[in-house]
Amino acid sequence: MPEYIAKDEKSRNPLLVDMRSLNIRYRIPVSRIEKFYESLDRGIIMGTKCPVCGSRFFPPQAWCSECGFSGDMEFYPLDTHGHLLTFTRIFAKPKSFSGFGDYTVGIAHLDRENINVLAWIDDAIQKPEVGMEISIKVEKRKEDNATVYFISKP
């Protein structure tokens, strides 16, 4: 057999092991929401508000999907007080998160914004419960040193 043919460990069926491997890293334009990242770096989480109809958006967006306004959306700091709607702890992790320990993801409702935020739940919340009070905080994540927002204690 040529060197690129290998037997599957379980079934012993022959497989051609592809010699062309691909490593993809996307470059995603964020110029229209640049203010969000500038503020995040200062520990503030911004949403956007439509100056015409008042609709609020998180994640922030540079147009209004409700009334169709296309122009300068207003960036404003979110009132991050809210409560936890649901959560899960991820045990079977994807390949690009394989270096992380198990992590807990939740969705929180921000009471005064009527907006939901999906994020990791901070380790400080050891036993998450549906309905518990939370706030959203910006932290440097220790696993990858990334500046991200967490669902955290109020």
Partner 1 sequence: MIRMSRVGIIGYGISKFGKRTDASMYDLIWEAGSEAIKSSGVDKKDIDYMVVSNMGIFSSEELAAVVAGEVLGIKNAGLHRVEAACASGSSAIASAYDAIRSGRSKIAIAVGIEKMSEVESETAIELIGRAGDFLWEYEFFGLTFPGYYALYATAYLNRYGGREEDLALVSVKNHHYAHLNPIAHFNNEISVEDVMKSRYIASPLKLYDSSPITDGSAAVVLASEDVAKQYTDTPVWIDGIGSNLGTANLSKRSDFLHIEAAREAAAKAYRMAKIDQDKPYKHLDGADVHDCFSIAELMAYEDLGFAERGKALDMIRNDETYIGGKIPVNVDGGLISKGHPIGATGVSMAVEASKQLLRKAENGRQIDVRNGRFLAHNVGGTGHYAYVTIYSI
Min separation Cβ 120 and partner 1, Å: 6
With binding defined as CB under 8 A, does residue 92 bind partner 1?
yes
Tokens of 118: 């999906």
Which residues are 120's β-sheet partners?
A: 105, 150
Q: Does 15 bind partner 1 (CB under 8 A)?
A: yes
| 21 belongs to the binding site for partner 1 (CB under 8 A) | no
The answer to whether 125 touches 94, Cβ cutoff 8 Å, is no
Count of residues of this chain found to bind partner 1 when the rule CB under 8 A is applied: 35
Q: How far is CA 89 from the centre of its chain?
A: 15
Alpha-carbon distance of 153 to 137, in angstroms, equals: 9
Give the span between the Cα atoms of 128 and 103, in whole angstroms.
Answer: 12
Q: Which of 4, 53, 68, 97 binds partner 1 (CB under 8 A)?
A: 97
What is the binding site for partner 1 (CB under 8 A)? Answer: 8, 10-11, 13, 15, 18, 28, 59, 85-98, 100, 103, 105-107, 116-120, 130, 146, 148
